Structures are given as C-alpha cells and as structure tokens.
Amino acid sequence: MEHNIAVGLDIGTTKIVAMIGRKNEYGKVEILGIGKSKSLGVHRGVVNNITQTIQSIQQAVLEAETASEIKIEGVTVGIAGQHIRSLQHSDYITRPNSDTVIDENDIDKLINQVHKLVMLPGEEIIHVLPQEYKVDGQAEIKEPIGMYGGRLEANFHVVVGQVSSIRNIGRCVQSAGLNLEGITLEPLASANAVLSQEEKEAGVALIDIGGGTTDLAIFRDGIIRHTAVIPFGGNVITEDIKEGCSIIEKQAELLKIKFGSAWPGENKDNEIVSIPGLRGREPKEITLKNLSKIIHARVVEIVEQVYVEIKNYGHEEQKKKLIAGIVLTGGGAQLKHLKQLVEYITGMDTRIGFPNEHLAGDSDDDVTSPLYATAVGLVLDGLKRQERKHLDTVEEVKLEDIKPEDVIEDKPTQPRRSFLDKLTERVKDFLDNAE
C-alpha cells in the first residue's frame, strides 16, 4: 500500500467496517472504499468468538478491496468494550539537576513511572494522558518543556483495559491475514472524526452510541479529560422492543429504525403498524405510541448513565463547564428526537455529529453518516501514524548524509512515540511469539 493510504477497521458489536482513505492535495481525506459485514463474534465490544470475527473481518475487507481496487495489507484497529475504565492519578519526579531545562526525557520518565501503577489482574494501562503539569509547585502549566525546575509533577488521565481482550482483537486481525499497524481507543477515534478544535477547547462531551456499548469522551482546553464505556447501546433497545411486542429481532430492528422515536408524546394513539405473523399466523398490530414508550424508557436509562459520568468529571464546577455541550454520534444517534431528549435530560446544548470534519467535500452521504464516525477516525489515525513514520525515515536519511565533522552536540528531536504505538508493538510481539 502507498504511504498516503490508510485503512481503518472498526470491530463493533453489530457491524464490522473496513474503510480505505487517502489524503488529497488539500490535506482532506478522501474515502476510496468501504466494506461492512454483520459482526457475529462480538458482544458489547469484546470478541467472544474468534472464528466468526475473523470471517466477518475478511468479508468487510474483501468488500472494501473490491470497491476501491486496492489491496489491503495493514489496518488501524479500534478498541472499546465494557472492560475499559479510566482513573485520575498524580505523580512526580525529582530531577537530579535543576539547573538544566526540562526536556522530553523528563516527561517520558514521569509517564513511565505512571505505568508502574498496580492494576487489577489481567488489566493493563492502554493510555496515559497528561492533563496539566506543576513545576516546583507552580500549577496549571500546559507545556513544561524548556522550563527550569527541580520537581516536575502532573495529573494524568489513565485508561485501563483487559489485556486479553486487546490480544484477541490482534489475533483476529492477524488471522484474517492483515498487519496490525496501530491500536486506538475508539472514543478517541470518533472524537477526531466528529469534533472541531474549537469544541475541544471550549469543552465538549462526545457520546458515541454503538450497538453494544456507548462510549464517552470529554474534552476541555483541547485535552481529553475523561473517558468511559457504558455497556449498553442500540442492541438493548432492539431487545426491549422484541420482548415488549413479542416479535422477532429482525422485525424489532426494522421497527426501531423506521418508526422508532425517543419522544413518546410525538405519536397519536391511532397510529398502528401491522407486522406479518410468523408462518401463517395472524399479523400483529403495534401502536407507535407503545413502541416509542419502550424506546424512551431504555434511552433515558442510557443517557442518565452517561450524564452520571459527565457529572463525575465535574461538569457542574464553573472551571470545568462544557461550553460546547454534547455531540451525539454512532449508529444510535440516528434515532428520531434523540437530540431533544438528551437536551431535556441534561440541560446541555446538543448536536448530532457527522464525521465530515476532515473529509473531502465530495464525499458520499453514506460515509458522512454518524454510523461511520469511528471508522473515519481510525482512517485519520492511520494516516497520521504513516506521516510520523515517513518523517522518521526522512530524518534518518538526512542523518546519514551528515559527515562526522558537521555534528554539533544537539540531538534531533524525534517525535515522541505515543503509548499506543508501544502497546501495538507489544501486542504484535506477543502474537508473533505465541504462534
């Protein structure tokens, strides 16, 4: 694959999407091909049947390859699921020599120290995100590099996940004949695709309602402040309709998409849908009012759980207020009147997020659906990762051209490898050695 093309693979509970994208000359992303398949081996964002997941991945990849006539080799994968949790942690280092300025190495040392936190069995740190720094007690420093000081401390947002779940996803990708190029946290990928920089600065909560889970990512001052995964999504709504109306799942899903609404006051009592009975049985009649009552009850529950997380972050404090409110994305965001319901429950401004923030203007309406927010975000992430690699190789070539007598004692600054890159490498090593 060329270096300016990347593939995102979104392994969801209801669907698996493979999306191929490349950067055009204006720095926007063109989507070249998209493939999706029904996801059979995933429950609430966690792989529970390796063989079925591999088949679904291969099907989605094949479809994307056919659409774009590009052979897919490596993919950037998202991880989510009910095993992801996050915590706040503060740590500090004392520098041996406070007469030198703080540099990258000091920050790396501090971040590596956070990785030594003791976790529950089977858990591993996925992401360590510095919030703000303190140098010698001086608080609210965004970028300490270049400052003098003896004691460097920071608050961190630490995201933790089950290492076996992450390895299982890696295993599925490799067994489907693909290279694992990168791993990203899905709420972060969706946020990249949907949110503008202004929103991230002002303070915003992104709610990504998927089939099996609802992901939350909160930004303020351009930094991610809080993440959470709530183990409910669109599937539980379908399940409730199925139980409440005694119909099969396929019919329940269709009812939800075609006639469903999150606001029961909308429907008049006499609006009725007739559903064909199974194998010669009488058709069933369901009032739309009842349907939206069932949906409303479950959606309220999901939104309230998300709102608890937003309050846990501290949205009610003046300093942490989320001025840009809430952005809803994911397949579940297409439910009618959801925006009004969320505004009603939380009292926060709400909009539906379409992943067109970085896409080229002539993209298909299909691609800019909230359904594909995570996939678009993973493509963006893959492209970014390739740019970094490309810069590294250019840097190396330049270094080779330098004669020894030209060298001044100033090391070239290499872009700091994000912890996700290291995690990807660890998962790869594990899989290579496990064979």
pLDDT tens digits, 206-238: 999 999 999 999 999 998 899 888 989 999 999
Residue 287's DSSP bridge partners are: 272
Asked if pLDDT for residue 415 goes beyond 60, the answer is: no
Judge whether residue 270 has pLDDT over 90.
no
On average, the pLDDT of the chain sits at: 89
Which amino acid, one-letter code, is at 155? Answer: N
Q: What pLDDT does residue 413 have?
A: 44
Q: Give, in degrees to the nearest 5, the angle at Cα 331 between 325 and 332.
A: 60
Mean pLDDT of the 319-339 span: 94
Neighbours of 56 (CB within 10 A): 24
Angle at CA of residue 344, ends 157 and 335, nearest 5°: 85
The residue behind tokens 């942490």 is 320
Confidence of residue 345 (pLDDT cuts 50, 70, 90): very high
Predicted model pTM: 0.88
Domains defined for the chain, CATH in brackets: 1-82+162-194+357-435 (3.30.420.40), 234-294 (3.30.420.40)
The predicted structure's pLDDT at residue 174: 94
Q: Does pLDDT of 87 surpass 60?
A: yes
| H/E stretch holding 406 | none
**Across 368-385, average pLDDT:** 94
Please determine, for residue 292, whether its predicted confidence score (pLDDT) is greater than 80: yes
Across the range 8-36, mean pLDDT stands at: 93
List the structure tokens of 373: 């927010």
Q: With 0-12 CB in 10 A as exposed, 13-18 as middle and 19+ as buried, what is 307?
A: buried
Has residue 113 got a pLDDT over 70? yes
Q: Which whole number is the average pLDDT over 128-138?
A: 91
CA nearest neighbour of 376 among 354, 353, 357, 355: 355
- Tokens 């972060």 correspond to 188
Query: Angle, nearest 10°, between helix axes 163-175 and 50-68?
Result: 50
Tokens 């500090």 sit on residue? 92
Structure tokens at 57: 């991945």
* Amino acid making up residue 40: L
Mean pLDDT throughout 314-322? Answer: 89
Q: 391 or 308: whose pLDDT is higher?
A: 308
Q: Is 314 helix (H, G, I), strand (E, B) or coil?
A: coil
Q: Which tokens belong to 14?
A: 């209801």
Which range among 130-134, 137-141, 385-389 shows the weakest confidence by mean pLDDT?
Answer: 385-389
CB 109 within 8 A of CB 153: no
First to last CA, the chain: 26
Asked if pLDDT for residue 92 goes beyond 50, the answer is: yes
- The pLDDT of residue 403 is 58
Contact between 248 and 242 under an 8 Å Cβ cutoff? The reply is: yes
pLDDT at residue 140, rounded to an integer: 87
Distance CA 192, CA 29 (A): 13
pLDDT at 416 over 80: no
On whether the CB atoms of residues 337 and 266 are closer than 8 A, the answer is: yes
Residue 418 has pLDDT above 80, yes or no: no
Please write down the HEC assignment for all residues of 192-239: HHHCCHHHHHHCEEEEEECCCCEEEEEEECCEEEEEEEECCCHHHHHH
Angle at 329 between CA 178 and CA 288, to 5 degrees: 120
| Average pLDDT of span 314-342 | 93
> What does residue 13 show for φ and ψ, rounded to 5 degrees?
-80, -35
Task: Give pLDDT, residue 401.
Answer: 64
Q: What mean pLDDT comes out for the span 350-358?
A: 92
